[in-house]
Chain A
Amino acid sequence: MVLALGGLFYWGMQRNPKELPSVLAKERRPAPDFTLPVLPPYRKEWGETFKLSDHLGRKPIVLNFWASWCLPCYEEAPVLEATWRRYKDQVLFVGINTQDKEGDALRFIERFDLTFPQVFDPRGRVGVDYGMYGVPETFVIDREGRVVVRHAGAIDQAGLEKYLKEVLP
């Protein structure tokens, strides 16, 4: 009895509470669609609004949820930008600025010179559809439009490239 309880306790201690399940990635569900306004610096190239389903089924897509008030986002922004510049012919990167103010978001974008399209979701409605816990979170969508990866927390170069290899031919 004591051993069984001890074993249960030990097993519980080994679990990482930050490792939260993602229903989308686990079941490889189709990426939930959304239409969001594009932030001003990107409107010339991407139009006034961005509809995800217009882009699904062509290239793999990397969806990155971020906010200017989120510290790890500062860590991963240069990684995302550099990787986007390297893979922009093969993969589409989309930044979703979530629960943020437009002015702060624009300052963040300018600071890191982000060139991949950025959309604006001040309410964070899309985050709920993706089962997002907190920023930053990155989702990788394959060419069939299914979510295959959910990465919580700042992403590094090696991790991101590993995920890209999963969805690139």
Chain B
Amino acid sequence: MRAWVLVLFLALGVWAQENPASPPPDLPPEVFAIARELRCPVCQGESAAESNSGVAAEMRRLIAEMLQEGKTEEEIKAFFVDRYGEWILYEPPRRGVTLWVWVLPVLGLALLGLGLFTYFRPKKPLPPELLEEAERRLKEPPA
């Protein structure tokens, strides 16, 4: 009997637990997928999906509203770029100056590969007549 009472009390604790915090319950996950690619304007290195600041919360609400209106992800991002500039995008756009951010690592890797290849390339054997000449000279008594 005592054991049962104990089990009952332990089971009561289940209600004390809050629901798991992620994903946050108020908005659909699509909202967070888009917000993750947008910067939170008042934070340092946090996306609009992670931050609890007022602006980020409002951005998520706006994204949810726009999704309900049937807007696409591109249209929603364009809405924020129009107001904040491309700074608001977490991934720099693949054109103009920021194209280099995407191109340079690939270019660097290619150069590294090329360098390694030329360094480790199997050496061409020396021509036989040169080898013979060397052997002959070695056998010659020093002058």
Contacts and interface: CB of A to CB of B under 8 A. Distances in A.
Contacts of B80: 128
B102 interface: no
A12 B85 CA distance: 20
Contacts of B58: 99, 123-125, 127-128
Interface string A70-106: 0000000000000000000000000000110000000
A21 B87 contact: yes
Contacts of B41: 20, 132-134
Interface residues of A, number: 17
A127 B54 CA distance: 11
A47 interface: no
Interface of A: 20-21, 23-24, 98-99, 123-125, 127-134
30 contacts: A20-B87, A21-B85, A21-B87, A23-B82, A23-B83, A23-B85, A24-B83, A98-B54, A99-B54, A99-B55, A99-B58, A123-B58, A124-B55, A124-B58, A125-B58, A125-B62, A127-B55, A128-B55, A128-B58, A128-B59, A128-B62, A128-B80, A129-B83, A131-B85, A132-B41, A133-B42, A133-B55, A134-B41, A134-B42, A134-B55
Per CB-CB distance, the 9 closest pairs between chain A and chain B, nearest first, are A99-B54, A134-B42, A131-B83, A133-B41, A124-B58, A131-B84, A23-B85, A21-B85, A124-B54
Given A23-B84, A134-B41, 18 more contacts: A20-B41, A98-B54, A99-B54, A99-B58, A124-B54, A124-B55, A124-B58, A125-B58, A127-B55, A128-B55, A128-B59, A128-B62, A128-B80, A128-B83, A129-B83, A130-B83, A133-B41, A134-B42
